[in-house]
Structure 1
Amino acid sequence: MTTARSQETPTAMIDRVASLLQSFDGHPRLTLAQISRLANLPRSSAHRILQRLVDLGWVERDGFQYGLGLRMFELGSQVVRRDRAHQAALPFLHALHRSTGLTAHLSVLVSADVLHLERIGTRAETELAWCPGGRQSAVHSAAGRALLAQLDESAWPELTFPAAASSHGIRGLPQLRRDLDQVRERGGVAVDTQWCTAGITAVATAIGPAEAELGAAVSLSGPAGTMPVEKAVAAVRMAAMDIWYAASGVTRLRGRGPRPIILPPAVAAHG
């Protein structure tokens, strides 16, 4: 009996710690009561685990509120830095932002969502969902639909269809299929017309073919009223190709790096 309990206890503890840490998903700061409720843990257990995590630097305490600590950021950054697509994409994301004034993202598909690995530029997209580590619905996100369009439907994750930020979002599977046909006709570029966030338009395309297994998309986003969509489409296409060559270790004969895409000054002023 003692042996069985000793084998189960570490697993149960890991489950409790994982549940507690996951409660911060989408919540930068939480009180003990909120953490206890979200993690489905007794208040005393949540408090005891939090205290230890604070000591280790995994969680930070500010008064009566808790948030993820710098140690979590350090470990997460190591994972991202090891990613081939991320390393290759960084200079081109910076070039996209500099040349357009828009916000550039690198994103991957995770279950029914897209997870943003990197963001360069922060003027218009202030919601946490647009930040690195933030998630958005794959069926509404331009990056998510660009990645889904590359896959056979049998390879799709189990998708959900939450309400969009506007009245024009994807409402079901038939509409998604039609939209993905349009993405393919557009050369793999998807458009988020205020579906994730009101007032924000985004365009995205996958980096490399599906068989390359990079599984990432590059996107540009900005204010819906001033964003020049067609020029942004051209910019992400060029950047995706550059990132693909860089990640593959192949030198492009025509050009030696990110090339500026000049968009109207008004966009740079409001992006």
Structure 2
Amino acid sequence: MRTASWTDSVSVLDRVTAVFDAFGEDDEGLGVSELARRANLPKSTVSRIAADLVAQRFLDRDGELLYLGVRLFELGQTVPQPRMLRRLALPVMRELRDVTGQTVQLAVLDGADVVVVAVLRVPCALELSTRVGGRDRAHATALGKAILAFSTPETVTRVVSGGLTKQTPHTVDEPAVLLRELADIRRRGVAAEHEECTIGVAAAAGALLIPGEAPSAAISVIGPVDALLPDRVTPAVRAAAVTLSRRLAADRAR
């Protein structure tokens, strides 16, 4: 939550960003008062910003409620790397979902975080918090650890020096422990995560590796801890990561 002092001298862009950040992944729509409370901005300011964003289709309005707008999605689709990744990954993701019976994610590394760029869910499965655009700390996720295991020492150092915050009581927050785990992931080829990012959720992930390039993306299987045993899905995840890596390399070669 931004403090009251933060609101005293911020730019227009900061205020707009605060409004966007106020929306949570489970929100069904927010009124101006709730947006103002979450953004820690005056209601009159948020009302003016919201009116401008609605006019530009960055927000949608339904009565008194505001929603993230379709134009944000349209702009997101124009980002080259996620769009290209999704195009090549969807067939592989479908096969991995069908083989494992679990939800499949594709994510890219962004600083010290991983950002989900595609999700294929299992019908009637337990609802998970994962969503396109969702962001989590790399060290707390199978996706992030799979990428970091094959990243340059400089990338890993940057993530570690930024602080290994705990997302749950199970999150690895000691640099030495994380480094040992990354070394083990390099040997096994697949990263596992058990309630480190979200309580009740487990995952297994493999990095997308192209010769001569630092890894920037990974594919994972995610599900409830009582239904997903990482060791059992490891062969399928490893095969999916290798297949998608080859498709990416072939696409780059063209």
The change in CA–CA distance for 1:164 and 1:21 in structure 2 (over 3 A counts) is closer
Contact 1:125 1:222 in 2 (8 A): no
The change in CA–CA distance for 1:160 and 1:30 in structure 2 (over 3 A counts) is farther
Per-residue CA distance 1:55-81 (angstroms, 9 max, x = gap)? 222112234332201121222123267
Per-residue CA distance 1:82-125 (angstroms, 9 max, x = gap)? 63322211110011112221111101112222111111015234
Q: State the Cα distance separating 1:184 from its structure 2 match.
A: 1.6
Question: Aligned partner of 2:177: which letter?
Answer: Q
Alignment of 1:1-271 (within 5 A): 12-24=11-23, 26=25, 28=27, 29-79=29-79, 83-122=83-122, 123-127=125-129, 130-156=130-156, 157-158=158-159, 159-165=162-168, 167-187=169-189, 189-209=190-210, 211-213=212-214, 215-249=216-250
How many residues in Structure 1 have an aligned counterpart in Structure 2? 236
- Unaligned 5+ segments in structure 2 are 1-9
Contact 1:112 1:160 in 2 (8 A): no
Contact 1:108 1:115 in 2 (8 A): yes
Question: Aligned partner of 1:155: which letter?
Answer: T
User: CA separation in 2, counterparts of 1:146 and 1:201?
Assistant: 14
User: CA separation in 1, counterparts of 2:139 and 2:174?
Assistant: 9
User: CA separation in 2, counterparts of 1:198 and 1:68?
Assistant: 27
Residue identity (%): 31
Contact 1:206 1:216 in 2 (8 A): yes
Question: Aligned partner of 2:237: which letter?
Answer: V
User: CA separation in 2, counterparts of 1:77 and 1:241?
Assistant: 25
Once the two structures are overlaid, the 10-residue window that deviates more, 55-64 or 197-206, is 55-64
Contact 1:53 1:59 in 2 (8 A): yes
SS in 2 for 1:90: helix
User: CA separation in 1, counterparts of 2:153 and 2:34?
Assistant: 38
Contact 1:125 1:200 in 2 (8 A): no
The TM-score with structure 1 as length reference comes to: 0.77
Contact 1:80 1:117 in 2 (8 A): no
Q: State the Cα distance separating 1:207 from its structure 2 match.
A: 0.4
Contact 2:152 2:214 in 1 (8 A): no
The structure, 1 or 2, with the larger RCO (C-alpha pairs under 8 Å, 6+ apart) is 1
SS in 2 for 1:249: helix
User: CA separation in 1, counterparts of 2:83 and 2:101?
Assistant: 26
Contact 1:207 1:218 in 2 (8 A): yes
Q: C-alpha root-mean-square deviation of aligned residues, in Å?
A: 2.5
User: CA separation in 1, counterparts of 2:65 and 2:233?
Assistant: 41
The change in CA–CA distance for 1:86 and 1:214 in structure 2 (over 3 A counts) is farther
Q: State the Cα distance separating 1:214 from its structure 2 match.
A: 5.3
The change in CA–CA distance for 1:237 and 1:120 in structure 2 (over 3 A counts) is same
SS in 1 for 2:106: strand
Once the two structures are overlaid, the 10-residue window that deviates more, 111-120 or 71-80, is 71-80
Contact 1:117 1:133 in 2 (8 A): yes
